[in-house]
Structure 1
């Protein structure tokens, strides 16, 4: 039967799995696969595995329980392989890599930040600060019949939005990266101009959270900074 893999820890990790269920319906039983230096938490994989709420919660519960007792390499939801021997072979082949990564994540948690600016406020700012955008907008509002004006204004605004959002993203990262051991940026969606994960040492969490609060106050009410964490360090495995 295929094996579902949750996470990798050192063999000295407590690995307290009592009271936890694995993915699947009915829930699978959790177990560990060991090598000399590493252990993987696994279960039998259900025949049909989909990101349902119960299974996502079961996956996350394993990570959180393990995090409470030490450093974890959390795998993303849905990772499966053929059997326990295949898991053991990977642990043996990549012992040095996984051990180094566990050391890099020791004493840390992930925080994920998404940032957006109110679209209307950004457009107002562009019209106030860009002479060319203001001129084009005034001509259009005055009733000019030139069909090229709206297109020119749209292209100009699009360029301004991208440039300003790039500057804002850099500003946010600069304000927070000094409080994190590592950072990873990811693809933005919707109106966000930033999506980034920070690997933060537990002893530095208060400073990191304080810096985020200070930044939110500095940017003002037109900005939405959404911070989630502490999380398993999925982005840094």
Structure 2
């Protein structure tokens, strides 16, 4: 049976809900999916530069340096050519605290039924779908990465909600087994400015809060606006599944063999 690879990219600011959304979508896919977390490609602590504006703070969020981009690109290229992760790839996502937000069971079951039908139709054509989901806080910064994503979803969450969630989270587990705790004002001084820098070109006048999608991005990304609670996450999940189903029906993906 032939295999078709479909890579779904879910981007958004730190604490926008992208990893939670990715896991809800994975649960809805009958054959499951492999999630690649961009955070797993953060540099080791000794390679993280200090902010030129705040010399006492290491900057884990500046787009050019917050990810080991060559390694990240190589991993996605390997997945696109083989359908599997490199053997050396490891994730530490399971060590991070995550706030669980459930979604409406009826919406979930309808999405699962649609995915089930899509996979059944593919099998009838002699094809199986290999699903990958990539989530990341600077996922759309690098053009080579963007081009390797078949479906692109961006979670656009307002500043105040992002700040509240980041303040509540605070602690991040590092690949080395250590932890990072946000210093005072880290969100305002480092995290949010880096988010704007990474996504300004996606929106007219660089307005990540309220600007319209820039022309170059209109056909490339689905922008969602999840806010607080189960109702909003349900809407984001439903819209994401709709976008995925439409894209796959139109033939998005790469034939592996």
TM-score, normalising length from structure 1? 0.22
* Larger Cα-atom Rg: 1
TM-score, normalising length from structure 2? 0.20
Higher relative contact order (CA 8 A, sep 6+): 2
